[in-house]
Amino acid sequence: MSETLTIDHLGAQGDGVALTPTGSAYVPFALPGEVVDAELRKGRATKSIVREASPERVEPACRHFGDCGGCAVQHLEGNAYLAWKREKVVNALETRGLKTEVDETLACPPHSRRRVTFTARRLGSEVLLGFNAAQSHRIVVVEECPVATPGIVAALEDLRVLSKAIAATPKPFHLTVTETRTGLDIAALGAGRLGEKQRRAVIDLALEKGFARLSADGETIVEGRKPSVMFADVPVAIPPAGFLQATLAAEEAMAALVSTHLDGCKHVADLFAGSGTFALRLAQKARVYAAEGDEIALSALDIAARQWPSLKPVTAEKRDLFLRPLLTKELAQFDGLVFDPPRAGAEFQCQQLARSNVKRIATVSCNPGTLARDLAILTEGGYRVTRVVPIDQFLWSPHVEAVALLEKKPKRR
């Protein structure tokens, strides 16, 4: 049975939310102020028709939008879209009682996502390659993607051929494609165990197509050229499926904020350092201690630092900061610090930081909720938030990155 609903606001995942006597109703692809007829099931619309459209509704950039689950809000006008991203950060901070000013959202351009994870599946003699439909395991085969870099989009047909060659199981698997300065780095996960004949065919195909590297379930199958990226002026050979900021524009914006905030610091810590996104930039001016739990990523950082003699000394330590955060007494040697944790945030590390006298802290987060929790811990310990900048790294998705900058005045002796 269809109901007529008026959309009140956008929800956290980009659905339009209508307030009804029985609770909130979620309508995919509806916008605030719109009147829709919707068939609801357990509070979510399974079908809907827009009767009165919002003036902020625009034509989506991609023909697959609405079927492909990769994007949620291509149909929202640009300024309203960026305001929604900022509001997610503002609301998270306010929930924790943090009344700090939040900058306007820094936009990232279309066609800039250099790291994309496709879903693939072999069906008889054919193969599907694309993205899952929203809340579904159904694969939407894509012929374009206005989010991904032109280099990845241009390789779609070659990636389909590769997916067909590497599939050793009829089950769906993932293909993570990263565009590096030396070519595409491709990591398959869950494609099945390759037989020797199939392996040789896959190697020949990867070399023929000019892919830089192909790995499967962590094993390098073939590496024609070592995949490399630049962190400022420092070339880094990234590991297979290693963490990399999704877009170069976002990485450079975050790095500029962090580097400016920590400028003048003599000894800096980079926690959850990955392969050196921040550490190798900061080492241009300061001694750096880099802690990371992933040994392979840390090795890439360490090798890059050793091969670039103009950098200040970089000390790299393999350390699980969730189980063994730096203690307050260990933090005493640093006057600046940056941390960029996974979505879970860095609660235990922040408890130690709150008791420290590190003068300046920069935190990078992909989760406004855990960012707000961590900032609340630090402010309770005497830190002052000086700036919060949302960054739209994940274009047209519900996700938003943010950089927060903090300071603490040293205690008088």
Binding residues for S-adenosyl-L-methionine: 245, 272, 292, 340
E strand or H helix at 389, and its extent? strand 384-391
Which stretches of 81-205 are assigned E, i.e. beta strand?
115-123, 126-132, 139-141, 173-180, 183-189
Concatenating the DSSP letter of every residue in 141-176 gives E-S--SSB-HHHHHTHHHHHHHHHHH--SSS-EEEE
- What span, in angstroms and rounded, lies between the C-alpha atoms of 75 and 82? 13
Q: Which residue has the tokens 């209508």?
A: 18
CA 244 to chain centre: 8
Q: Can you say which residues are annotated as belonging to the binding site?
A: 245, 272, 292, 340
Q: State how far the alpha carbon of 219 is from the alpha carbons of 12, 122, 165, 216, 239, in Å.
A: 37, 21, 17, 5, 11
CB atoms within 10 A of CB 344: 9
Structure tokens of 327? 């203690």
> Catalytic residue at 62?
no
> What is the phi-psi region of residue 321: left when phi exceeds 0, alpha when psi lies from -120 to 50, beta otherwise?
alpha
- Whether the CB-CB separation of 167 and 121 falls below 8 Å is answered with yes
Q: State how far the alpha carbon of 214 is from the alpha carbons of 47, 163, 201, in Å.
A: 41, 11, 13
Q: How many Å is the Cα radius of gyration of the chain?
A: 23
Q: Which residues pair with 318 in a beta bridge?
A: 292
CB burial string 54-85: b at 16+ within 10 A, e below: bebbeebbbebbbbbbbbbbbbbeeebbbebb
Q: Give catalytic residues, as residue numbers.
A: 366
